Chains A and B, each alone.
Chain A
Amino acid sequence: MIDIADLLTAMFVSATVLVYASAGEVVTERAGVLNLGIEGTMYVGAFVGFTVADHTGSPWVGLGVAVAAGLVAAALMCLLTVTLGVNQHVSGIGTTLLLIAVCDYSNRLLYGGGQLVQVKTFPVLFKDTPVASQYLLTYIGFLVLVPFLAWLLTRTGFGLRIRAVGENPEAADVAGISVARTRYAALLIGGALMAVAGAFLTLAMVGTFTLNITAGRGWVAIALVIFGRWRIWGAVAGALLFAGVDALQLQLAITETFAHVPREIMIAMPYLVVIAALAASGRNVAYPGAYLKPYRRI
């Protein structure tokens, strides 16, 4: 029998990662830059958060340093895509490959690879209340970050500038907006949020670092951005859909009917649901006008 309260609790935990990551990607893509470094940035957040928490004993310090590492990763993307104007697919995949390789290399040197070190995780708020027993970062993500970013993007001058350089950088430039500076800001905000998403994996959900811990969640976040049509709330809806299917498959796996279905098919379900959702809703969507286009004054 499926326990609805357990299902919802698990859904919000698993959605938190995607909310932070896809919110970060929305901000970035609204400025006209596709950050395919998201998977690597999340991986760095997960690894750095874990390592620092292990050495200092505090998950909060781990989170802080993870954010700093996310900013460095975003700065690399800035240099490549904004300053140099390199193809965004290539620089994003390259950044992801580099960051994952550096983390795995460091992991091997620091922990010898293999054995699991558990770190202290974030405390759970409202421990005995069903559904409401969540991590603080989950509450911040859903109740503070998402409304704030939605307000920032649609109701403030800064948000308008981000959207302007993403839609029509020539016009924005003529209007006196620094395209490079605005895109830098958007990428850095996005990188910090992606790192939080990664750190949440190690410092809340899992409590340790394992190889391939992100397992393609960054790619899911990118799909959610398209699914949500570059709106924060749309991406949140997508995150809840993915996390809902994810939580459901975990619950179903222990029921009698589905116990004999291979676990891997169940784990693959959310990915397939996202593709199906894209196929159903993503037809002929309007991408940001300057999507994938570097800008340089002539």
Chain B
Amino acid sequence: MIRLVLRGREPRWLAPLLVGCAVVITYVLTAPLIRWAGANPMAAYRRYVITPLTTPVSIGEVLLTSTPLLFTGLAVAIAFRAGFYNIGAEGQFLVGAVAATWVGTTFDGVPAAAAIPFALVAGALAGALWILIPALLRVGFRIDEVVTTLLLNPVALLLVQGLLNGPWRNPVSQFPESAHIGPGFNFPTVIPGTRVHLGFAIAIVLAALAWLVLARTATGLRMRAVGLSSTGARFNGVGVERTMLSSALVSGAIAGMGGVSQVCGLQRQLTGEISAGFGYTGIVVATLGALTPVGVVLVATLLGDIVVGADSASLVLQVPPQMGQVVTATLLLVTVGILVLRRYRPVVNRRRRTAETRAEVIPLEEVRQ
């Protein structure tokens, strides 16, 4: 009989090993579904992970696909770090896209130097505005932000659909899609020969800034303190409400800029499919990235890789592209589940309890986390 016993210190190799195990388990769990579609799981996974990284153009596509996930992942990570469970990045992303479309189609003659910052500010404001009510309800009246941010997601989607079916409907084709934004608003390409646009560069800069603030400034320390223990932070003189509110607003603003990046960098217009669940996937990105900006960048790239791979696999192997989401969600659940085991070590059970098999003495706070 093998028992699990709390361990005092975690060896450095353990977390990477467990993540490796999580990848293998994810493969084993998803393989039957791929086989059901009539494809070889090994071939499908090669297509998901390896194929997109083989040519410069497809690497460009991976970076392009990961761009919205960088924004939403960063937005979620910042809010979660400060203990604000923003599950509404989807809605904030959508209203950011709406704002970018509005300024892009209304002021379509503005030159690029002014237009791009203008669109970004508009999107950031829209995203921050969308999170403002949940944030105020949270810090003012302790109303659960999870529920209110979640409920605003369908509302944001209805806003997009309402605009596209109503005032913004394409007058020529009658399709529910907006007019194109002015040429000044188009994000320039940053890597020649690919479709990678300014939005990717902005996301990377934001990630670097987020790292700097979180890891190297007093503001970041206050945010992390509020997230870890708001009571403890309060006793140490941190303005918990103010920190949480500003983190939430920054989070909404970043998610909103993600919407701007998707409109100005890729689609050039608003459509009902502007967000393929990027806000929700952002939660996966932030969690798997351990709520750190570096982790967010790595995981967003990996998920971009899988999405590009899933699209090509659906064409070549006839595996529906939704498999990308299945793999992503399975990987998330298996990883967070298996990482719990970090805190334990297996012990072969002896007949008598010896000093060795007893739990090592750990401060209570560490166990509770």
Contacts and interface: CB of A to CB of B under 8 A. Distances in A.
A105 B158 contact: no
A284 interface: yes
A91 B336 contact: yes
A230 to B, nearest CB: 12
Interface in B331-353: 332-333, 336-337, 340
A105 B333 contact: no
A105 B151 contact: no
B87 interface: yes
B143 A219 contact: no
Contact of B329 (A94, A262, A271, A296): A94
A215 interface: yes
Interface in B266-318: 277, 280-281, 283-284, 287
B interface, over-half SS: helix
A94 B147 contact: no
B337 A79 contact: yes
B278 to A, nearest CB: 12
A93 B87 contact: yes
A267 B147 CA distance: 18
Contact of A97 (B142, B280, B364): B280
A263 B162 contact: yes
B283 to A, nearest CB: 5
Contacts of A235: none
A282 interface: yes
B147 A216 contact: no
Interface in A111-147: 113
Contacts of B158: 264-265, 267-268
B249 to A, nearest CB: 18
A105 B322 contact: yes
B247 to A, nearest CB: 16
A100 B323 CA distance: 11
Interface in A29-84: 34, 36, 76, 79-80, 84
A97 B151 contact: no
Nearest to B160: A264
Interface in A173-199: none
B326 interface: yes
Nearest to B314: A108
Contacts of A36: 87, 146
A298 B367 CA distance: 8
A90 B320 CA distance: 26
Contacts of B165: 262-264
A262 B162 contact: yes
B155 interface: yes
Contacts of A100: 325
B37 interface: yes
Nearest to A40: B329
A220 B151 contact: yes
Nearest to A227: B147
Contacts of B329: 94, 97-98, 101
B143 A91 contact: no
Given A98-B326, A268-B155, A275-B151, A283 B162 contact: no
Interface in B101-151: 133, 137, 141-144, 146-148, 150-151
A223 interface: yes
Given A94-B332, A223-B147, A226-B147, A271 B155 contact: yes
Nearest to A222: B147
Nearest to A34: B146
Contacts of B320: 104-105, 108-109, 113
Contacts of A282: 141, 143-144
Interface string B1-37: 0000000000000000000000000000000010011
B204 interface: no
B130 to A, nearest CB: 12
A90 B141 contact: no
Given A268-B159, A274-B151, A90 B287 contact: yes
Contacts of B232: none
A105 B319 CA distance: 9
Most chain B CB neighbours (cut-off 10 Å) among A80, A94, A275, A283: A94
A268 B142 contact: no
Contact of B147 (A97, A109, A219, A272): A219
A85 interface: yes
Contact of B364 (A219, A275, A298): A298
A161 B367 CA distance: 25
Contacts of A262: 162, 165-166
Given A90-B287, A271-B152, A296-B367, 8 more contacts: A76-B333, A89-B146, A94-B332, A101-B322, A109-B37, A274-B151, A275-B148, A283-B142
14 contacts: A80-B333, A80-B337, A95-B333, A97-B328, A97-B332, A98-B326, A216-B153, A219-B154, A220-B151, A226-B147, A264-B162, A271-B155, A278-B137, A283-B142
Nearest first, the 7 A-B pairs at minimum CB distance are: A264-B162, A98-B329, A101-B325, A216-B154, A108-B320, A105-B322, A283-B141
